[in-house]
Amino acid sequence: MTRLLLAALLVLTLTGSARPTESQQRWYEAFAGQPEAQNQLARSFWLQHQKSNALYWWQRAAKAGSVSAVNRLLEYFPGNRQQWLKLGVEQGSALAIKQLARYQLTDAQVNWQDWQRRWWQAEYKSALQPEFGDIAALQGQPTVCTEQVTVTGASHADKARYLALLQQLKQLPLPTSQWCFNWQTQPQLSCQSADGIARAQCDVDTTGRTIILAGQGKASSSTNRITLTQSSQRKVLAHELGHWLGLADEYAMSRPLAEQFCRGDYNFDARNLVITRQQIMSKAELKSLWQRLPWRDAVKDWRQLGVKRDNDSWQLGSQQQSVGLYKAATCDYLPGYYAWKPVAEITAMERHQSDHWPALYIKLINQNLMAN
């Protein structure tokens, strides 16, 4: 590079009295510190496969304030990525800002508070908001918290999943806007899953409502704990939150779980299911069932819950495609127990892949929240 500089200076000196060519003018401006000329000179060297010369001039252009030069360094010389990213952030490169923010979001050495403090500043918002959303709004707490939820990961690297969870919560139709979410790390967090298919089991002490960010396995929930895995998508999160909000599974439970839930041994007052021991009832029994339905207000007449038989008994199950009584698979593995739901369509509580939350379910959830 030294010889190249001397040669260029000699050319400029010898031709000083003549009108400089475009190439000579570019050299002159590059030596004078003009970033655009330096950028053009670097590109010229790159096209000539002179990578070291291109690197030299793109570095000079970047340090002189050329965002384009920073982007070229990131694209063509990824080996020094961290150096270029820091340089690019100083020069206001949106690409560098996004890449460094994304990198530090998964960096185990950077905690959530420091990441927010570093990146969620006015000067970076225009570059980061399209990808990360309004972090301040996501993290902002309501005036009154009706529920405190702690989100736990094994390291600071999991804060990327925490941010994704906050973004997912904003997209759900569930009434969680008055819930307050807080992030914490527990290095001792240990989760296991047999062959990566079974439910993730995490050995960690928790108090209060807690969402655990585990690795492999299936998501699950209990009274105060939801365990999400790396494969858990927004719809899975919604389904598990549905349990916290008072809704039970409408798919077939495993035999051990069905024995607890369907027999009433499990302390869970489901708002979307009723359990019966028979599928045929007398008029009095059907009226009694109607009276205890959590969705009774949506069923005007008890006769909507079944079909009358010849002997004045009633076969459970609504015939109309409206709110009533419809077979759910919840207790299928427990003979002699029958589960019934209020709607005929497949809901998010029956299939994780479904995104269907009937208006009635949201109403039942709100009633449950008010009662508690």
Instruction: Indicate whether 61 and 120 sit together in one domain.
Output: yes
User: How many distinct structural domains can be found in the chain?
Assistant: 3
Based on the domain organization, do 235 and 182 belong to the same domain? yes
Same domain, 265 and 239: no
Q: Hey, how many other C-beta atoms are within 10 angstroms of the C-beta on 330?
A: 28
| Residue 35 shares a structural domain with residue 118 | yes
State residue 11's pLDDT score: 52
* Residue 133: inside a domain: no
Q: Is residue 32 part of a domain?
A: yes
User: Where a domain ends, among 90, 124, 158?
Assistant: 124
144 and 109 housed in the same domain: no
Is 12 part of a structural domain of the chain?
no
Amino acid 276 reads T
Show the low-confidence residues of the chain (pLDDT under 70): 1-20, 22, 26, 28, 136-140, 194-197
Q: Contact, 153 vs 191, CB < 8 A?
A: no
Token pair 């709110």 in the structure block, residue: 323
Q: At what angle do helices 67-76 and 35-47 cross, to 10 degrees?
A: 30
Do 305 and 223 sit in the same domain of this protein?
A: no
Q: Is 119 part of any domain?
A: yes
Longest distance between any two alpha carbons in the chain, whole Å: 117
**Whether residues 143 and 107 fall in one domain:** no
Quick one: 178 and 216 in the same domain? Answer: yes
pLDDT for res 49: 92
Where helices occur in the chain by DSSP H, the ranges are 2-14, 22-31, 35-47, 51-63, 67-76, 81-91, 94-105, 112-119, 122-132, 135-139, 159-171, 234-244, 255-262, 283-291, 359-371
Cα separation of 221 and 257, whole Å? 13
Last residue of a domain, one of 182, 213, 245: 245
Q: Which residues pair with 281 in a beta bridge?
A: 314
Separation CA 227–CA 217 (nearest Å): 10
Which among 212, 245, 278 is the end of a domain? 245
Q: Are residues 67 and 104 in the same domain?
A: yes
Residues 186 and 270 occupy one common structural domain? no
Q: Is residue 230 part of a domain?
A: yes
151: left (phi over 0), alpha (psi -120 to 50) or beta: beta
Is the same domain home to 61 and 89? yes
Same-domain status, 147 and 241: yes
Please check whether residue 221 lies inside any domain of the structure: yes
What pTM value is reported for the model? 0.81
Sign, CA dihedral 254-256-258-261, equals negative
Is the CB of residue 87 less than 8 Å from the CB of residue 117?
no
In a domain, 91, yes or no: yes
Report how far residue 160's alpha carbon sits from residue 107's, in angstroms, rounded to the nearest whole number.
9
Measured CA distances, 166 to 137, 158, 316 (Å): 10, 13, 42
Task: Calculate ∠ Cα 128-129-135, nearest 5°.
Answer: 100
268 in any annotated domain: yes
**59 to 29, 83, 282: CA distances (angstroms):** 16, 11, 86
The pair of structure tokens assigned to 27 is 């050299």
Q: What is the spatial distance between Cα 366 and Cα 279, in angstroms, rounded to a whole number?
A: 30
DSSP 255-277: HHHHHHHHTT-S----SS-EEES
- Domain limits for position 43: 28-124
